[in-house]
Amino acid sequence: MSHTQRHGEADDAPPPDEPLEGEWSYRTTLRDGREVLLRSIRPSDRERLIAGLRRLSPASRYLRFHAPIEQLSDAQLDYLTDVDHHDHEAIVALDLSDLEVPGVGVARYIREPYEPTVAEAAITVADEYHGQGAGTILLGALAARAREAGIEVFRNYVLDGNQGMLEVFDHLGAEREREADGLWRVDLKVPETPEDVPSSPAGRAFLEAARSEHVLASILPPIWSRWRRRRRDEASETEADDELDERIQAELLDSQQDLDEWLRSRDER
């Protein structure tokens, strides 16, 4: 069976482990060294979503949906996989060592209609990948996408029993308050700069995922704006805006080693 047909995917579906042109994607590793691909969700991922739900334990399903969900309707699957990547974004994580597994997890945000800078966010990690840092990595990538879309706060509703996610949010400096008996409302500020991320193992993983080359400019908007103004003053009149943006992004990426050294020195303090 070719990897384009796994989990009932159509014969003409794009390979799940090959990013499409213009599609956001990022490769990283879990704590145990397994390589994972993070990318935006596609309509062709619906069968993977179905298979992933089936593999979740009843407890994990309840923690994610706050109800004993057994299956998703066609309308729900359409809604969850055919997203606009602006007001509604979803990121899937795939284990590149075993594409027979539907997925490592999914991160999703949906913009609040009456609070455009706030989005409800949710993270689901497959049971067999718990404890590998997948939730923090997914949240970091989702934050970068959200910042690019103008979202400043993630609002999350987390059950008492979901101690793993509550600890992740606590380590990232989120604020939480009781929404109802057994349910927390957790607000996490989407970081604008590395200084906004707490110095902790969770913070480092979060920032690493949020610093992929496709979103580096969006997670550091103040730096991008300053560099762009300065480079525009220096640029020739004939240099197109997209050429200027590419040059600035290349310069920012060249500074990534400096950022890594700054993070290490901050952690040692």
User: Domain for residue 147, yes or no?
Assistant: yes
Cβ neighbours for 238, distance < 8 A, ≥ 6 positions apart: none
User: Domain for residue 265, yes or no?
Assistant: no
Per-residue model confidence (pLDDT) at position 228 = 47
Residue-wise pLDDT tens digits, 129-154: 888 888 888 888 888 888 889 999 99
Domain range for 148: 6-193
The number of folded domains in the chain is 1
Residue 127: is its pLDDT beyond 90? no
- Using DSSP, state whether 167 is helix, strand or coil: helix
Tokens of 57: 């334990």
* Model-wide pTM > 0.85: no
User: Domain for residue 51, yes or no?
Assistant: yes
One-letter amino acid at 32 equals D
Task: Identify the CATH number of the domain in which residue 131 sits.
Answer: 3.40.630.30
Contact 130, 164 (CB under 8 A): yes
In the predicted model, what is the mean pLDDT of residues 22-43?
A: 90
- The chain-wide mean pLDDT, for the chain, equals 74
Q: Tokens 């482990």 belong to which residue?
A: 17
Which is higher by pLDDT, 264 or 160?
A: 160
Q: What is the dihedral of CA 178, 175, 190, 262, to 10 degrees?
A: -150
User: Domain for residue 128, yes or no?
Assistant: yes
Quote the percentage of the chain above a pLDDT of 90: 22
User: Domain for residue 135, yes or no?
Assistant: yes
User: Domain for residue 198, yes or no?
Assistant: no
Contact 265, 204 (CB under 8 A): no
User: Domain for residue 57, yes or no?
Assistant: yes
DSSP assignment of 95-156 equals ETT-TTS--SEEEEEEEETTEEEEEEEEEEE-GGGTTTTHHHHHHHHHHHHHHHTT--EEEE
